[in-house]
Chain A
Amino acid sequence: MNDLAPGERRALRRAARRLQHRSRSAAVSVALAIVALAALYVAVEAVLAALGRPPLAVAPGDLWRGIASPPAEAQPWLIAGAVVAAALGLTAIVLAVAPGSLHRRPLADDERAVIVVDDAVLAGGLSRAAGAVVGVGRGQATTAVTHRGAHVTLRPSSGFRVDERAAEDAATGVVARVAPSPAPRVRVTTTRTGALS
């Protein structure tokens, strides 16, 4: 009763991974909608031409002749069409290969539950730990978290000194305790201008 089946544990790990990246579902829907609209237009024009009716915009035969052997002077529609198609195509390719990271990471595995934490929450937790140990107020510690690092900036009240080492130890202690993966390396700096408080 207390343990998860191995299949469920695998499902949890998969779910945690899926939480960390974009699914690209929306992008595919947009891309397919555009393709569908274009195909719909082609279908309408083809049917009209097959029935011998006048075309909506341009008949398929004329369109193909226009593309394959264009008239001497530049056709703005063709150029515009090529530019639009190229832009959309490049966007789609970039979205296909870009990682789409959502800036979240999993914490150490527990037997039953997997915790995934936003980098913003992790940053807040490190700010709190660092700030508390050196005695600065809530608004005076800022942390920026990147994939492998965390940079804590302390802004002490004017005239006070802070022990950067203690702050770094405190923040590193939090990292060790919750064990995110990847575990960011903590770096602490102090601003030169203090806060008036």
Chain B
Amino acid sequence: MTRSNRSLNRFLLLVTGLAALALAAALALPWTPWRSAVRYPYLTGDATALWLVAAAAVVVVVLCAAWIASRGRGRTRAALETGDTEIDAAVVASLLRARLGANPDVAAVSASAYRRRRARIVLVQVQTRPAPDLGLLTDDVHAAVAGLHRDLGAAVPVVVHLTSGLRGALSAPRVAH
């Protein structure tokens, strides 16, 4: 949901993975029968070469640190900005929570806002009780969002995530009683 570019993430993983494999090959090659296939270039140990290597390594460190530090951007508190009013994502959450209160299968409602490419959307997490009545639940969710738009006077883009328990999907089994 954040601004991270997912294709770029996978590309970086691919590149670092290949580089690591190349390093492993370089380390192991002298021990294999293909030793004569590759000639290792002669590196002098003079000062200029060493400073260059150090400078390049520092650049790599800075780039990596910059990337790691840029994770998680894109989340914003304001779900809606009209003119001079800002509406907080928490307000959206409580409005939806009130409208979904009648549904027995809704355990919790929370909301957060994200800004991506100049569009603001609200991600609503609805935690459901086990074995919900899906037809009723989806109808109620759609009605709640329609009511939300009437309350706010604006059509806020909303993504509703119906989840069963822990936020991560790591431990969520795809089997339910």
Residues of A participating in the B interface, judged by any CB pair closer than 8 Å: 1-4, 7-12, 14-16, 18-19, 21, 23-25, 27-29, 31-33, 35-36, 39-40, 42-43, 46-47, 49-50, 59-61, 64, 67-70, 74, 78-79, 81-83, 85-86, 88-93, 95-97, 102-104, 107, 110, 112-129, 131, 138-139, 141-146, 174, 177-178
Contact = CB atoms under 8 A, between A and B. Distances in A.
A95 B18 CA distance: 12
Interface string B54-97: 10011011001101100110000000000000000000000000
A1 to B, nearest CB: 6
Contact of B40 (A67, A119, A131): A67
Contact of A112 (B26, B58, B61, B155): B155
Given A92-B17, A96-B11, 14 more contacts: A8-B157, A11-B157, A12-B121, A12-B158, A14-B116, A35-B60, A43-B54, A81-B24, A113-B160, A115-B141, A123-B176, A125-B133, A128-B134, A177-B138
A13 to B, nearest CB: 9
Contacts of A33: 64, 68
B94 to A, nearest CB: 17
B67 A116 contact: no
Nearest to B137: A125
Q: Secondary structure at chain A's binding surface: helix, strand, loop or mixed? A: helix
A89 B58 CA distance: 22
Nearest to B51: A50
Given A4-B157, A29-B68, A117 B4 contact: no
B135 to A, nearest CB: 5
Contact of B175 (A2, A67, A113, A143): A143
A125 B131 contact: yes
Contacts of B149: 1-2, 112
A113 B159 contact: yes
Interface in B82-135: 114, 116-119, 121, 123, 128, 130-135
Interface in B124-177: 128, 130-135, 137-138, 141-142, 145-146, 149, 153-155, 157-165, 169, 172-177
Given A50-B54, A122-B134, A32 B64 contact: yes
Given A50-B51, A113-B158, A142-B176, A35 B16 contact: yes
Nearest to B133: A128
B24 A117 contact: no
A27 B9 contact: yes
Given A1-B149, A60-B45, A177-B135, A32 B16 contact: yes
A129 B176 CA distance: 12
B177 A70 contact: no
A127 B28 CA distance: 55
Nearest to A75: B31
Contacts of A89: 16-21, 23-24
B115 to A, nearest CB: 10
A74 B157 contact: no
B175 to A, nearest CB: 5
B20 A121 contact: no
Given A25-B9, A112-B155, A116-B160, A123 B169 contact: no
